[in-house]
Homo-oligomer: A and B are copies of this chain.
């Protein structure tokens, strides 16, 4: 399973969480990665953890003040990037351009979407993976795999119908190992997490619990 810990703009110490993710990753078969803010990429990558960006812009080198260039994210240590997270939605043409920019810079891509129809659309743009996250469940603590298992199954089917090479992840409300196992049983190859780890009193313990049944 692929497990991405999204630090959002939470008030956590990004290096502390990253170190925990790195250590737990080394002790399990799951692939754990962490996605800090752009300004924290470098110090997070220095821990040795697999580091992802939270967003990349559909741009090339040039006059783009205030934008996130794929090459600079990679240069700062990013191995992959989220695109179109529900807190950073993009225009269709810009998702397409962002996937292209990421691939140009050697970044792996996960395009997020809200429902199975949009997952099909995201898959058509050729990312490495798509992630379905019903916005109404984000941050609730109620896992999508339990609250709405059909949305995960339908997302897997929608992506497979468009491009069987695109992996499907799911997110929203996932915080325990059972949630991750349930996501896998529904066909997901990974999960997106955030508050369940990043806002936990003990992120390392939360991660250990999470990967325990895997």
Residues of A within 8 A of B (CB): 6, 8-11, 35, 37-43, 53-55, 59-69, 71-73, 75-76, 78, 82, 84-96, 113-115, 117-118, 120-126, 138-139, 158, 161-162, 194-195
Copies in the assembly, this chain:
4
Instruction: Kindly list chain B residues whose C-beta atoms are within 8 Å of the C-beta of A43.
Output: 42
Instruction: Give Cα distance in the complex from A194 to B117, angstroms.
Output: 30
The answer to whether A121 and B125 have CB atoms under 8 Å apart is yes
Given A8-B62, A9-B60, A96-B117, 12 further pairs, Cβ under 8 A: A9-B61, A38-B68, A39-B68, A54-B66, A55-B66, A90-B92, A92-B92, A93-B114, A93-B118, A95-B121, A124-B124, A124-B158
Instruction: Give Cα distance in the complex from A117 to B115, angstroms.
Output: 19
Instruction: Kindly list chain B residues whose C-beta atoms are within 8 Å of the C-beta of A40.
Output: 72, 75-76
